[in-house]
Amino acid sequence: MRFFRIAACAVGLCLPGIHAQQVLRKEPAMYTATERTSRVEVRPPGIRLGLRKSREVALAPLGEAEARLLAGPGTRLIAGIQRKLDSHSLAAGTWATVSGGRRIWRMGLRSPGARGIRVEFVNFDAGEGQVWVHDGSHVAGPYTAKGPQDDGHFFSETVESGAAVIEYAPPAGAPPALEPPFEIRSIVHQQRTAMDFAASAKDPADYCELDANCYSDWQSSMSSVGQLSYVDAGLSYFCSGSLLATRDNSFKPYFLTAGHCINNETAARTAEVYWTYQTASCGGTPPADRSNSTKSTGGAHLIASAGPEGGDFSLILLANVPSGVTFAGWDVNDPPVTAGVATIHHPSASWKRISLGTRTDDATASVGSSTLPSNLYLQVTWDHGRVEHGSSGSPLFTAPGVVVGSLSYGEVAVDGTVCAINPSTAGYSRFSNTYAQVKPYLENLPAAQVVPDQAAVAFTEANHAAPAAQAVKLTTQSSGKVSFQLRPDESWIQVSALNGTVSASTPAGVTVSVDPAKLPQPGRYQGTVTILSGAAAPQFINVTAVVKVEQSNVAASIAPNPVVQNGGLWSFQIKLNETAGVATRLTAIKFNGADYSANIAGWFGNARIEGNGSITAPLSGTGLFPAGDQYFEFWGVDEASGTPWYRVATVTFR
C-alpha cells in the first residue's frame, strides 16, 4: 500500500496567484434565517395517540431483474429502484375513530431489504387535510392541498426504514369518505440510504478518502456542499453539489450539480439535499445514516442544464434550505495551470470528504459515447484523496468557498479501488462556461415574471390519434417587452414556439400539443412546460395526457353446431359480432388451415364490422365433410388503432 505524505501547506491548501479579488469573482455568504424557514412539525395521530399497528401491504423481495438494475453500470450512482404498487393496494387501508370522533385513515407499506422508502402520490388533493409518511419515529410531512408542487403528483421525503405508515387526517368537519383523496402509484426502495455497518465494517468510500472536518481552512466551505438524492426514470440516484450565492446575496437557493445527474424538471421535483451528513469533528465517529442530517425537502425546479458535449452542468432552484448553510462564491476566471484546487464531496454515497490537487493541462475526454471538449472542462490531478461515483456535481474550489467548476468525470476503479490509481485525474465543468448560461440568475438581474392564463392543460389521446392542440395565453405586468423561454420537460410535449416576448399591453399566445408517436402505451402521463423569464421564478404549465387504446372484441360463432347433413346438403352460418363498440375489419379466414381469405367479400358481403355490429356468412354445400371437430380461424385489425386480433371457432360436422 502506498502512503502519502501531506505537506504542511496542504492543510490550508497552497493557492498561488489568488491574492487579489478577480474580476467577476463572488465571495461566499452564510445564510442565517431571520424567519421560520421550515414548518412546525405536526406529529401524525398514530404516533401522538399511540394507535396500534396498521394493516400492512408487503411487497415481495426484490426479484432478479430488479437486483440487476440496482447493480447496473452507468455514470450515476444508483441508490434505489422504483417499485409499482397494485392499483387496489389502498384497499388495505383502514379507518379508525379517535378522541373527539375524528376519523383517521392508515396503511402500512413494507419493501423487504429496503433501508429507506419514498412514497409516490398521484391525484393528491387533500385540501386542508394532512398526510404523513413515517416509521414511528422519522416523519415526512404533513402534506396538504395538492402537494408541494401543487399538481397532485410528488414523492414523499425519504423515511430511513424498510417499512412506512401512511396516515391521512381529513379536515375537521369533513363528511365521511370511503377512500383517501390520493392514489399511491409506487414506492422507491432505497438500497444505499445508510452505511450498513452491521452487514459490513467497510465504509463504501475508498480507503484514501479524507475527512473534510480535518482541514480547518475548509470547514466553512463544508456547509455549502450537499448530498443530492433524486428519482429519475424508475431509479433513485446520489450525486453531490453546492449552493451558489447571487451577486447581491439574495439567498435564492440555487444548487449547482452535474448535468448527467439532474437534467429534467420531473427529476428535479424529486430532489432532496442532505447538508450535514458528515462527522461531528475531525476523527469523530462516522454517521451511521442520514436520519440526523439537516436537509432540504419539497423538491426543486430545473433552471438550466447542459449535457456532456455542452459542459455537463445543471442549476436547480431548491424549495428551501436550513439556516446555517453557506452559499458558495464563484469565480468566472479559470484558475491557472498548476493552481491548487480542492473539492468537497460524497464519494460512493458516503459521508462528506475532501480531496486536494492541482489543475493540469487541458484535455479532450471520451465518456461513453460522448466527447467532452477540452475548452469546456478543467483537468485536475489529485495529490490527496480521490473522487468516486456519488461525487458527481461536487464543486471545485480555488479558495475556501469559491467555485470554479463542478465534477463531471473521474477515474474508473481498478480492482474495486480508485486509491491505487496514481496519478489520478478528473474533469470538471468550467464554471466560466456555466456562468455564461446562468448569468441572469447569479447576477439576480431584474426580471418580470411571465405567467400562463391556465396552470394546467389536459389531453385525451384515443387510438394514437393526436388530440387538438390547446391555446395558452402568456401575460406580464411589465409595460416593457419581456423575453421568455418555454422548455417542454418531456419529449412528448410540443409547443408552438420556444421563445418570444410579451408585455402588459401585448400578451403572447402559444399552443401546447402532444406527440402520439412518443406515447405508444395506454396510461396516464404527466409533464410540464417551464416558463423562464430572466431571473424571475420559473412558472409552469402542468400537462397531463391520458392515452387510451380502444380495442374491439369480436365473438365468432357458428350455428347450428353441430352441423348435420340434410338431404345431402350441409347448411350453417358464420357470425362475427363486435361487442366493445369499436369498428374493426376482417382481414383473413382459414378453414382447417386452408386459406379462404379471398372469399370474405363473397361470403360476408362486407369485411368491415361496425362497432356493436356484426357480419354474417350463410354457407351451404354438398359433398363429403370431414367428421368431428373442425376449425375456422379469423384475423382482423381495428380501424382506428391498428390493433390486430385473432379468433378461433370450432364446429362439429355429422
Please check whether residues 483 and 572 belong to one and the same domain: no
The residue type found at 499 is: N
> Cα(293)–Cα(313) distance, rounded to whole angstroms?
25
In a domain, 1, yes or no: no
Q: How far is the CA of 551 from the CAs of 461, 574, 643, 649, in angstroms? A: 14, 22, 7, 20
What does the pLDDT read at residue 366? 84
Please check whether residues 149 and 240 belong to one and the same domain: no
| Beta bridge pairs of residue 621 | 570
In a domain, 177, yes or no: yes
Separate counts of helices (H) and strands (E) for the chain? 7, 47
Please check whether residues 569 and 458 belong to one and the same domain: no
> Cα(386)–Cα(422) distance, rounded to whole angstroms?
10
Name the stretches of the chain with pLDDT < 50.
1-22, 36-40, 193-200
In a domain, 195, yes or no: no
In a domain, 197, yes or no: no
Last residue of a domain, one of 160, 190, 220: 190
> Cα(55)–Cα(109) distance, rounded to whole angstroms?
9
Last residue of a domain, one of 394, 419, 442: 442
Task: Write the DSSP assignment of 618-648 as a string of letters.
Answer: EEEEESPPPSEEEEEEEEEEETTT--EEEEE
Q: Which helix (H) or strand (E) holds 67?
A: helix 64-70
Grid cell, residue 616, equals: 354474417
Give how many domains the chain has, as a whole number.
4
What does the pLDDT read at residue 618? 95
Please check whether residues 147 and 126 belong to one and the same domain: yes
Q: Which helix (H) or strand (E) holds 219?
A: helix 219-222
> Cα(541)–Cα(236) distance, rounded to whole angstroms?
25
Please check whether residues 216 and 303 belong to one and the same domain: yes
Please check whether residues 412 and 274 belong to one and the same domain: yes
Please check whether residues 482 and 569 belong to one and the same domain: no
In a domain, 479, yes or no: yes
In a domain, 359, yes or no: yes
Residue 224 neighbours by CB under 8 Å, 6+ apart: 28, 242, 243, 325, 326, 327, 328, 344, 395, 401
Q: Check which CATH number belongs to the domain holding 282 and give it.
A: 2.40.10.120
Please check whether residues 391 and 317 belong to one and the same domain: yes
CA atoms within 13 A on the CB side of 457: 24
pTM: 0.82
| Beta bridge pairs of residue 117 | 159, 189
Q: Check which CATH number belongs to the domain holding 500 and give it.
A: 2.60.40.10
Q: Which helix (H) or strand (E) holds 609?
A: strand 608-609
Determine the 3-state secondary structure of 12 from DSSP. helix
State the residue range of the domain holding 63: 45-190
Please check whether residues 531 and 649 belong to one and the same domain: no
Grid cell, residue 644, equals: 390486430
> Cα(542)–Cα(341) distance, rounded to whole angstroms?
42
Please check whether residues 16 and 115 belong to one and the same domain: no
> Cα(355)–Cα(225) distance, rounded to whole angstroms?
13
> Cα(429)–Cα(409) distance, rounded to whole angstroms?
9
Please check whether residues 400 and 256 belong to one and the same domain: yes
In a domain, 196, yes or no: no
In a domain, 505, yes or no: yes
Determine the 3-state secondary structure of 546 from DSSP. strand
Strand 370-372 versus strand 402-410 pairing type:
unpaired
Q: Which helix (H) or strand (E) holds 442?
A: helix 431-442
Q: What angle do CA 443, 256, 446 make, to 5 degrees?
A: 20
Please check whether residues 238 and 371 belong to one and the same domain: yes
Burial class (CB in 10 A: 0-12, 13-18, 19+), 422: middle
What does the pLDDT read at residue 625? 64
Q: Check which CATH number belongs to the domain holding 599 and give it.
A: 2.60.40
Q: Check which CATH number belongs to the domain holding 121 and give it.
A: 2.60.120
Last residue of a domain, one of 190, 218, 238: 190
